[in-house]
């Protein structure tokens, strides 16, 4: 390597270069070792999930509600459906507000007030999920008088909004101003331009943001503990306590029963598969190009 | 954006009546535009309102406990729901110790990973490696907790903790019976969860260092490692610090995985083998069972403290990252 700095004595130069070359190799090795050390737990988590989970997933697990302690069998069907239900409520509340806030930031928010909103969104993004749970409890559960799917949905929606808003803004800003000007030049009104031209052009990017937010809240447990609360039975009512996959995994994992541990692994496997599918879908959508039709 | 429209309207309307109709619609768009602007503004205000609501609910919810214990709440170690005596010191201690332990383990690894991915590894390996480390961040906390209970804790109990006690027992940090469950397990699982955040930010700020920096240092005859150390890491260090602090923010607020392995006992012990309790886990465990207004209020006050600390930490981190990625590298170094 390039250690040809005019040497004062051959001996010193050789010694320094050996030291430097050694450091270089050592640093490379250390960085590679760090990568391996980080990938190790990832491999261990996935390996164990598949190893422990796959044997416990069967038809009963996917179609039945939990059995009482001591009885074998039973499943998490109500928890899987409950998770989907809560996530649906969260998406219905969070996605429109998030995208709207993103549009505001990108199209109208290039000013002092926009900066305030942007900053606040970043603050909201950093709020610990358990604190969001407390707030959803105070707003929804206290006013309703009992735990409910709605409270869980509100908690998750609060967590989705900042992520969606910031990615939507980023994606809309990638759309060239020329495209907007072309629409204005044709006499298209501003709101129409934003919805049919700008947002449309950035669709795949916006979807990426929504899916990322979705994947982020899909496994959340802490904000559901005292909002959705969990339920042993089926529930489709918005104002009743509802089971969730993540809650069920938590309850089963800290229980002392082997049968429940087995089911916790199975539930975790299903949850991770759902999330990995969502994240991979994002990669594929994003890989097709953030902005179709502008390049 | 009503600027161009009136002009077009005048010209075209004079030429032909056929095109007048769509343009009349365009004239109405003034109202529609206003409505749309207002609706989007309302969504933006929602974000402001939510943060305001969080602050309001936390402050009003914790008022009772604040009046009962004042600032001393955070310096008392008594936690006695029956006699309604509450102090948050063990939880503050547990949160700080587990988070710093996590950073101690995670930061060198995360920087190593970032250096390897951005500067050392072959091009074809870059994408997959970056994706895999990102995947670590996508695993839900409850699954980390599950894995920690059934894999990490037994390994610690049978191999890790006896090993530490034998060789590092003289420090006093590794004493007592090796339960497996305790502060050490919480720190390790937090470290695994923090690594992807720190390494993602570190990668981002390292990529923001201009290519000419690297070329200039290499041209002076530096080895690759010297180039990374003096040309890249030194320029990016404010941003890397930002990433570390962002990781701290995540570790402070992390709930489920920690709750599942820390042991949940409100005690302050010197040994890392001993069980502890964190601010987030005490809320998770006791909130839905809290009987009595003071009890609930004390838990909400812990939530308020957690909120304030994570907000400050996150703002600081974003500022530090911004100083590097805004275009010019930080000039703070000597």
Query: Within a domain: residue B14?
Result: no
Tell me, what CATH number does B117's domain have? 1.10.3720.10
Local structure of residue A148 (DSSP, 8 states): -
Q: Out of B39, B42, B54, whose CB is closest to A135?
A: B54
For residue B284, count other CB atoms closer than 10 A to its CB. 26
Query: Within a domain: residue B275?
Result: yes
Is the pLDDT at A279 greater than 80? The verdict is no
| A contact test, residue of B50, B65, B114, B200 with most A CBs within 10 A | B50
Query: Within a domain: residue B9?
Result: no
A162-199 pLDDT tens trace: 999 999 999 999 999 999 999 999 988 889 999 999 99
Contacts of A184 in chain B (CB under 8 A): 1, 3-5
Whether B230 and B307 map to the same domain: the answer is: yes
And the tokens for B263?
């042991």
Query: In DSSP terms, which residues pair with A242 in a beta bridge?
Result: A229
The pLDDT of residue A294:
40
Tally the domains of chain B: 2
> Residue B145: which domain range?
72-325
Contacts (Cβ under 8 Å, ≥6 apart) of A43: none
Whether B161 and B299 map to the same domain: the answer is: yes
Whether B297 and B150 map to the same domain: the answer is: yes
The pLDDT of residue B292:
86
The whole model's pTM is what?
Answer: 0.87
Inter-chain touch A120–B140, beta carbons under 8 Å: no
For residue B247, count other CB atoms closer than 10 A to its CB. 30
Whether B55 and B113 map to the same domain: the answer is: no
Q: How far apart, in whole angstroms, are the C-alpha atoms of residue B16 and residue B9? A: 11
Whether B39 and B84 map to the same domain: the answer is: no
The pLDDT of residue B327:
56
Which H or E run includes B85? strand B85-86
Whether B156 and B205 map to the same domain: the answer is: yes
Is B23's Cβ below 8 Å from some Cβ in A? yes
What are the distances in angstroms from CA A168 to CA A124, A161, A208, B334? 16, 10, 9, 40
Tell which residue, A55, A73, A76, A80, has the closest CA to residue A259.
Answer: A73
Per-residue pLDDT of chain B (334 residues; tens, 9 = 90+): 444 444 444 444 444 444 445 544 555 678 889 999 999 999 999 999 999 999 999 999 999 999 999 899 999 998 988 888 899 999 999 999 999 999 999 999 999 999 999 999 888 998 889 888 888 888 999 999 999 999 999 999 999 888 888 888 788 788 888 888 999 999 999 999 999 999 999 998 998 888 898 999 999 888 899 999 998 999 888 889 999 999 999 999 999 999 999 999 998 988 889 999 999 999 999 998 888 889 999 999 999 999 999 999 999 988 888 887 775 444 443 3
Inter-chain touch A101–B40, beta carbons under 8 Å: yes
Contacts of A162 in chain B (CB under 8 A): 47
Its ipTM equals: 0.88
The pLDDT of residue B28:
63
| CATH code linked to domain A79-287 | 1.10.3720.10
CA angle (A215 as vertex; A213, A220 as ends), nearest 5: 95
Q: Rounded to a whole number, what is the distance in Å from the CA of A295 to chain B's nearest CA?
A: 23
| A contact test, residue of B27, B108, B146 with most A CBs within 10 A | B146
Whether B53 and B181 map to the same domain: the answer is: no
């Amino acid at each position: 390597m390039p250690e040809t700095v005019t040497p004062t004595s051959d001996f010193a130069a050789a010694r320094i270069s050996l030291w430097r070359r050694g450091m270089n190799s050592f640093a490379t090795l250390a960085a590679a070792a760090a990568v391996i050390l980080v990938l190790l737990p990832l491999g261990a988590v996935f390996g164990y999930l598949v190893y422990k989970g796959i044997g416990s997933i069967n038809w009963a697990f996917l179609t039945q509600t939990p059995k009482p302690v001591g009885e074998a069998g039973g499943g998490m069907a109500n928890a899987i459906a409950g998770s989907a239900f809560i996530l649906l409520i969260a998406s219905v509340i969070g996605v429109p507000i998030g995208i709207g806030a993103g549009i505001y930031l990108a199209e109208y928010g290039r000013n002092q007030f926009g900066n305030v909103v942007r900053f606040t969104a970043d603050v909201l993004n950093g709020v610990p999920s358990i604190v969001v749970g407390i707030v959803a409890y105070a707003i929804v559960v206290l006013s309703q008088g009992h735990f409910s799917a709605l409270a869980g949905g509100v908690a998750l929606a609060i967590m989705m909004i900042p992520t969606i808003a910031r990615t939507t803004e980023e994606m809309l800003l990638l759309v060239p101003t020329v495209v907007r000007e072309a629409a204005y030049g044709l006499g298209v009104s501003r709101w129409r331009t934003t919805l049919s031209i700008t947002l449309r052009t950035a669709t795949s990017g916006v979807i990426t943001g929504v899916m990322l937010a979705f994947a982020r809240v899909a496994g959340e447990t802490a904000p559901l503990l005292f909002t959705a609360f969990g339920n042993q039975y089926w529930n489709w009512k918005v104002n009743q306590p509802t089971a969730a996959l993540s809650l069920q995994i938590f309850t089963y994992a800290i229980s002392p029963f082997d049968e429940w541990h087995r089911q916790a692994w199975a539930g975790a496997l299903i949850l991770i598969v759902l999330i990995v599918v969502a994240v991979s879908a994002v990669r594929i959508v994003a890989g097709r190009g953030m902005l179709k039709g502008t390049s | 954006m009503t600027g161009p429209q009136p002009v077009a309207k005048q010209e075209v309307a004079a030429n032909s009546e056929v095109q007048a109709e769509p343009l009349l619609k365009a004239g109405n768009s003034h109202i529609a535009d206003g409505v749309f602007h207002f609706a989007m503004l309302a969504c933006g205000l929602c974000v402001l309102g939510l943060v305001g609501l969080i602050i309001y609910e936390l402050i009003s919810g914790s008022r009772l406990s604040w009046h009962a214990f004042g600032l001393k709440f955070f310096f008392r170690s008594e936690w006695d729901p029956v006699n309604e005596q509450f102090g948050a010191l063990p939880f503050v201690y547990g949160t700080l110790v587990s988070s710093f332990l996590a950073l101690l383990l995670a930061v060198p690894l995360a920087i190593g990973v970032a250096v390897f991915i951005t500067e050392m590894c072959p091009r074809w390996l870059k994408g997959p490696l970056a994706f895999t480390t990102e995947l670590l961040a996508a695993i839900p906390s409850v699954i980390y907790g599950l894995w920690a209970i059934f894999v990490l804790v037994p390994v610690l109990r049978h191999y890790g903790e006896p090993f530490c006690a034998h060789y590092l027992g003289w420090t006093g940090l590794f004493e007592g019976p090796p339960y497996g469950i305790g502060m050490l397990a919480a720190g390790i699982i937090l470290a695994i969860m923090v690594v992807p955040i720190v390494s993602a930010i570190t990668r981002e700020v390292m990529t923001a260092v201009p290519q000419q920096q690297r070329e200039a240092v290499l041209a002076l005859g530096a080895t690759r490692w010297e180039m990374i150390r003096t040309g890249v890491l030194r320029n990016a260090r404010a941003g890397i610090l930002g990433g570390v602090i962002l990781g701290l923010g995540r570790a402070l607020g992390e709930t489920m995985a920690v709750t599942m392995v820390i042991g949940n006992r409100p005690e302050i012990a010197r040994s890392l083998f001993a069980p502890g309790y964190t601010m987030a886990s005490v809320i998770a465990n006791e909130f839905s069972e809290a009987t009595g207004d003071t009890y609930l209020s004390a838990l909400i006050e812990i939530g308020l403290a957690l909120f304030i600390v994570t907000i400050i930490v996150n703002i600081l981190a974003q500022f530090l990252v911004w100083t590097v990625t805004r275009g010019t590298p930080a000039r703070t170094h000597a």
